[in-house]
Amino acid sequence: MKPLLYIFAFSLFFGCKAQTNYTTQTNLEAKIELNARPKLVVGIVVDQMRYDYLTRFYNKFGEGGFKKLMNDGFNCKNNHYNYIPTYTGPGHTSIYTGTTPKNHGIIANNWYDKEIKKSVYCAGDDTENSVGTTATSGQMSPRRMKTTTFADENRLFTQMRGKTIGISVKDRGAILPAGHTANAAYWFHGKEEGNWITSTYYRNDLPNWVIDFNASDAAASYLKPWSTLHDINTYTESGTDLNTFEGGFKGKESATFPYDLKALSKENNGFDILKATAYGNALTADFAIAAIDGEQLGQDNITDVLAVSFSSTDYVGHNFGVNSKEIQDTYLRLDKDIERIINALDAKVGKGEYTLFLTSDHGAVDVPSYLQSVNIPSGYFDSKDFKSKLSSFISKRFGASDLLENGSNNQIFLNRERIALLGLNLEDVQEAIVNELITYKNIDKVYSATTMQTTDFTSGIEELLQNGFNQKRSGDILAVLDPAVISYSKTGSTHGSGLNYDTHVPLLFYGKGITKGSTYQKTVITDIAPTISALLGTSFPNGATGIPLEFVLKE
């Protein structure tokens, strides 16, 4: 018995010893893994940034902004959106969820809700109240987004100890990236107030640092003349300052520099004028830097997420066009703002302690009226004539004038109840409309919802349409316009298509865990979230369809 007892005791001792060593090793590995995670992930989305802005303005950028990210980080030079439509709401959502509207459900900025029979806004939520203003502009939440973001997954992974803050001039640019579990999202309410606000979805009052920022009159300091950062004659990468392709501001006869923003603000919704100038980005950068301090982001080994979206590039592009002096100046100034953020991160979080990525929610087309002037096929879609012709066709073909319920986002929603009452076959009605629309001027392709649901497309515009098609939310008919044909004013640029000018956007990775280099290998926007999730060691967002970009991550 004694030898057996000895053996048992011996085994028990060394078993416990081994277990202790194993536990110590596991804890050590966990500690190493924890320390390998960045203290802060910063996602920067530049609204309406075409990829070629990086290359077109490269020689005019300083060394500490875009160039630093390109040369010291990893540059994915052939990065694209893989769905239609290329709008702000779907773009921001797809970046952070790692999937397309087919799954995350944000099919546009606004869309027709087939259940309640009215248009809804992607971030609108009238069950919540504004915080920081008495206006309704704070009645927002991410509830229409059906899947998680990588920020949500980081919150779950860290038992809600890792913070998430979203910031943008646009509400949807702050809310959708931050996800469902964010500590807060903040956006800019202009008009006569010029304050950063939030929603009761996140909290019932503004934190002190936001109150202090609003009280500092930072917004008012930018109501000043907007002149070019450098001599306008050196802006050789853009068109002439005076032309017929730009919108401009009310109260100023020509869309030319300089712009007295304080004087013009009276006729342009007060502080809202800042949104459509380079100073809107500067104000966003100021607020983001204040948030790093105010929220103590990146101050421990539990990873935080800061989602920043620069919206003013989109407003300027819509107003003045992608070839304007205004857009060039906006990007040269944004380069300085990016540099300020990097410097603040280096000082407050620490060099090599954070990971940053920069991308865009969509690109933009050259102003078609400009393209026409240089003999490039382009044009404008006549929505009024389209609706008249289609309504006439429906009445004649089916003997009813009320089969069209809604038309929006290049989609047609049919009155399915009425079709059923008339004893018509839904698929037959859809197909008849498809065959009719394909004969219309400036319409390039048309598909029915039935086709989207029964055919597996693996390439071309058709694949992009299918990736953007949500069975419960999308329409019965999907139309695609000819290249460089838009439904918009004859001044300024817009977006929404599946063509390269809208899909090809920057993707830069920089900082902790990121290798240095570049690739022309095609990447898609849905790869971003899985890449960040892989870096953090968290679960991928629950609807993610993208893949981690292994060549971006250090071994």
Predicted confidence (pLDDT) at residue 318 exceeds the cutoff of 70? yes
Predicted confidence (pLDDT) at residue 25 exceeds the cutoff of 50? no
What CATH architecture applies to the domain 37-372+496-552? 3-Layer(aba) Sandwich (3.40)
- Amino acid (one-letter) located at 190: G
- The whole-number pLDDT of residue 118 equals 97
- The whole-number pLDDT of residue 29 equals 40
As given in the structure block, the two tokens for residue 88 are: 């702000």
- The whole-number pLDDT of residue 529 equals 98
As given in the structure block, the two tokens for residue 71 are: 């040369």
User: What confidence category does residue 31 fall into, taking pLDDT thresholds of 50, 70 and 90?
Assistant: very low
Predicted confidence (pLDDT) at residue 239 exceeds the cutoff of 90? yes
Predicted confidence (pLDDT) at residue 439 exceeds the cutoff of 70? yes
- The whole-number pLDDT of residue 412 equals 98
Instruction: Provide the whole-model pTM.
Output: 0.93
Closest listed residue to residue 349, CA positions, set 307, 302, 285:
302
Q: CATH 3.40.720.10 in the chain, residues? A: 37-372+496-552
- 211-235 residue pLDDT tens: 999 999 999 999 999 999 999 999 9
Least trusted range by pLDDT, from 2-11, 211-220, 486-495 = 2-11
Predicted confidence (pLDDT) at residue 351 exceeds the cutoff of 60? yes
- 506-536 residue pLDDT tens: 999 999 999 999 999 999 999 999 999 999 9
- Across the range 19-31, mean pLDDT stands at 41
Looking at the DSSP bridge assignments, the partners of residue 198 are: 131
Residues noted as catalytic = 88
Task: Express as a percent the part of the chain with pLDDT over 70.
Answer: 94
Q: CATH 3.30.1360.150 in the chain, residues? A: 382-441+443-481
- The whole-number pLDDT of residue 5 equals 38
- The whole-number pLDDT of residue 3 equals 44
Fold (topology level) of 382-441+443-481: Gyrase A; domain 2 (3.30.1360)
* Contact indicator for 116, 100 with CB cutoff of 8 Å: no
- Across the range 351-370, mean pLDDT stands at 98
Closest listed residue to residue 445, CA positions, set 499, 393, 365:
499
3-class secondary structure, 80: strand
* Contact indicator for 547, 528 with CB cutoff of 8 Å: no
CA angle at residue 349 from 180 to 91, to 5 degrees? 35
Predicted confidence (pLDDT) at residue 16 exceeds the cutoff of 50? no
CA angle at residue 359 from 357 to 363, to 5 degrees? 175
Residue that wins the pLDDT comparison between 21 and 144: 144
- The whole-number pLDDT of residue 555 equals 77
- 444-474 residue pLDDT tens: 999 999 999 999 999 999 999 999 999 999 9
* Contact indicator for 243, 163 with CB cutoff of 8 Å: no
- The whole-number pLDDT of residue 36 equals 81
Helices (H) and strands (E) in the chain, counts: 21, 22
- 249-271 residue pLDDT tens: 999 999 999 999 999 999 999 99
Tell me the average pLDDT of the chain. 94
- 273-308 residue pLDDT tens: 999 999 999 999 999 999 999 999 999 999 999 999
Predicted confidence (pLDDT) at residue 71 exceeds the cutoff of 90? yes
- The whole-number pLDDT of residue 4 equals 37
Task: Specify burial of residue 551 (Cβ count, 10 A radius: 0-12, 13-18, 19+).
Answer: middle
